[in-house]
Amino acid sequence: MEIQTSEQLTQKKCKPCEGGVDPCTLDESNNQLLKLQGWYLTHDGQRIRKDWVVKNFMAGMKFFNQVAEVAESDGHHPDLHIAGYRNVSIELWTHAIGGLSENDFILAAKIDQLPIDLK
């Protein structure tokens, strides 16, 4: 995978993935994460995650609704987590390959562009 800036990633659209391709290597993932602020590897390098503390529960739900619109438009869907009414997290990975693909970094960059009402 070619390492790209956040701006380059946001200009792309996620591509359908039915499997049959190799996930990103750990080196590729780490290098791409250097271009995305706040995202980090989880699950032995198979997923990326970002955490936020929002103003209140409704701010978290508003953010998640915006994320849902972007995710649906790109056909790539994250795991959304809310805990303690204002701790929100998003986890991305390409389910069909059991690891990370360019799609995950594209969606992460697009999520980073969304407004969020932080604490």
Instruction: Give residue-wise pLDDT tens across range 20-75.
Output: 789 999 999 999 999 999 999 999 999 999 999 999 999 999 999 999 999 999 99
pTM: predicted TM-score of the whole model, two decimal places:
0.95
Q: pLDDT band for position 14 (50/70/90)?
A: confident
Distance between CA 39 and CA 100 in Å, rounded?
13
End-to-end CA distance of the chain, in Å?
35
